[in-house]
Amino acid sequence: MSSTNKKPNIIIIVADDLGFTDTSAFGGEINTPNLQKLAENGLRFTDFHTASACSPTRSMLLSGTDNHIAGLGQMHEFAQRIPEKFANKPGYEGYLNFKVAALPEILKDDGYYNFISGKWHLGLSEEHWPDKRGFEKSFALLPGAGNHYKYFPKNNDGNYLNFLNPLFEENGKKLNPDTDIPDDYYSTDYFTDKFIKFLNSNDRKERPFFGLLTYTAPHWPYQAPESIIAKYKGVYDNGPEELRSERLNRAIKLGILPEGVEPHKVETQREKAWKDLTKQEKEIESKIMEIYAAMVEIMDKNIGRILDNVKELGEEDNTFVLFMSDNGAEGMMMEALATTAERFQHFVGTYYNNDFENLGKKDSFVWYSDQWAQAATAPYYMYKMWASEGGIRCPLIVSYPNLIEKKDDGQIKPAFVTVMDILPTILELAKVEHPAPFFQNRNVVEVRGSSWVEYLKNNTDYVHDENKITGWELFAQQAIRKGKYKALYIPKPLGTDKWQLFDLSTDPGETNDLSAVHPELLNELVNHWSEYVAETGLVECSDIFYEALKGEYEKKVLY
């Protein structure tokens, strides 16, 4: 460990819908040597929490506060479908609002060189683009998802389709996808190329930098080069149940999960369990998982390019690198449901070719089943969009050689932390005060997260004390946590429609509802829930949410 007066460089890498145990550092079989090395040089967190979906998490990351305050109180794609609840509600603007001081805005004032490459999803209109929020250089896919290759279908009028609209901007200028995106575009490679270009730009001069790299991998549609997919041939032929138990075992061996942990039962919305699939159906399911794995491997390889680049610059020791997923693995095709199931079927049927031989190619459109998703989120219950742990507990790796001493094979850190903590952590490392209540001629809110610096230095064994209250809400699912206890409310038809109570210290799988055993504790947490609603201005919507979306939400217990 060396000390320095130089401001630290910051790199944050966000994966999209990556599962808890996908990478080898967390028990996965996918070839991810670069993240493995990052983990071995730094810290892996096992109790890191995000929101249950993408843009809300990103709003918390860049603001240090709750998504219901920062403008993503609900995924905008959904909020628009229920205007009677959400229209004109503060905190539901659908973009990173100006009540918050964004991390790059604050760092810019402190002399940082800020750049972003990848998905934005924090505002489609020009006045909300990254260059308006403190990023000096930007290359951004503005919506929540995109085709990974250059295949951007148009409708009969010659306009791009609304769904997966290839809206890109570069340094505040809207791009023409036909002419500005190269023919050999592949999202993960290209976002990395741009990141590396910004990192090495002469415009950086001697300034410390903050680089944000937001991959769209491994978000659907699953697409990857055949040569990488081929490396996973046969790996998934035993199905999701087998994969789940292999990963659980490895994660326990690594110390990511406690010995004897009881995983939650798997539930599915699909017709069939793996064992009931035909040979052909199994081949398709395996192939889909192989493509997914290839996408994760490609992401890891590109992360390696960046880490090598930082080393070449001689900045390795003075660079804080954080790698995270934005929410749990995706098991529900969530954004697709926002367009209604029929329109989505029509979209895939009209513009894509899902013949077996074509899977993974630029004009294929596949995603994996909720059973694969639960192989990735186990032992936690369910996946993205859920307020249960499967939706909100994510892998997190932090490395910063100037502060964090390398120990053996890396350290595994159990403290409860959230994505809102990242901003205050970085500000403390950069020795910058948060500007609230005034910033750039506007009122801004305080952060709700807490700095990890003392915890990273191993001076304390917690970040949030046992009285800290943390809430979650999206898609009408509600959760509130105090210390080791969590109250969870999942409305019909997905859940019991009642508050449940779990002790996460002994039951991270949320298998044993303690609400009848400790009614007084549940009562206390539900009171905290009301405070949380009042503090954040969140709009409760369990009364109409699933009704309004008319999705197909039947599910059954599998194993």
* Residue 171 binding ligand NAG, by CB under 6 A: no
Least CB distance from residue 458 to ligand NAG, whole Å?
Answer: 4
Least CB distance from residue 47 to ligand NAG, whole Å?
Answer: 17
Restricted to residues 226-265, the positions that interact with ligand NAG (CB under 6 A) are none
Give yes or no: 409 in active site.
no
- The values of phi and psi at residue 140, to 5°, are -135, 135
Torsion of CA 418, 419, 424, 427, to 10 degrees: 140
In DSSP terms, 322 is beta-bridged to: 12, 398
Least CB distance from residue 399 to ligand NAG, whole Å?
Answer: 14
Determine contact, residues 357/303, Cβ cutoff 8 Å. Answer: no
Question: How far apart (Å, rounded) are the C-alpha atoms in residues 331 and 371?
Answer: 7
Residue placing its CB nearer to ligand NAG in the complex, 265 or 407? 407
Give yes or no: 327 in active site.
yes
Question: What is the gyration radius of the CA atoms in the chain, in angstroms?
Answer: 22
Catalytic residue of the set 44, 68, 121, 133:
121
Of 386, 447, 446, 396, nearest in space to 417 by CA: 396
Question: How far apart (Å, rounded) are the C-alpha atoms in residues 460 and 519?
Answer: 32
Omega before 424 within 30 of 0, i.e. cis: no
Q: Are strands 168-170 and 173-174 parallel, antiparallel or unpaired?
A: antiparallel
Of 318, 415, 499, nearest in space to 49 by CA: 415
Residue placing its CB nearer to ligand NAG in the complex, 275 or 407? 407
* Residue 498 binding ligand NAG, by CB under 6 A: no
Give yes or no: 17 in active site.
yes
Catalytic residue of the set 7, 58, 393, 464:
58
Give yes or no: 58 in active site.
yes
Instruction: Report the residue from 458, 462, 482, 546 that binds ligand NAG according to the rule CB under 6 A.
Output: 458
Collapsing DSSP to helix, strand or coil, 127 comes out as helix
Give yes or no: 326 in active site.
yes
Least CB distance from residue 453 to ligand NAG, whole Å?
Answer: 15
Give yes or no: 16 in active site.
yes
Give yes or no: 119 in active site.
yes
Question: How far apart (Å, rounded) are the C-alpha atoms in residues 492 and 487?
Answer: 16
**Interface map 360-399 toward ligand NAG (x if CB under 6 A):** ----------------------------------------
Determine contact, residues 391/328, Cβ cutoff 8 Å. Answer: yes
Least CB distance from residue 461 to ligand NAG, whole Å?
Answer: 7
Residue placing its CB nearer to ligand NAG in the complex, 283 or 454? 454
* Residue 406 binding ligand NAG, by CB under 6 A: no
Least CB distance from residue 1 to ligand NAG, whole Å?
Answer: 11
Give yes or no: 244 in active site.
no
Helix (H), strand (E) at residue 342: helix 341-351
Residue placing its CB nearer to ligand NAG in the complex, 404 or 558? 404
Using the structure block, give the residue that is written with the tokens 């901003």: 423
Helices (H), 64-186: 67-70, 76-79, 83-86, 103-109, 177-180
Residue placing its CB nearer to ligand NAG in the complex, 121 or 413? 413
* Residue 407 binding ligand NAG, by CB under 6 A: yes
Least CB distance from residue 289 to ligand NAG, whole Å?
Answer: 36
Active site residues: 16-17, 54, 58, 119, 121, 219, 326-327, 384
Binding region for ligand NAG (CB under 6 A): 407, 411, 458
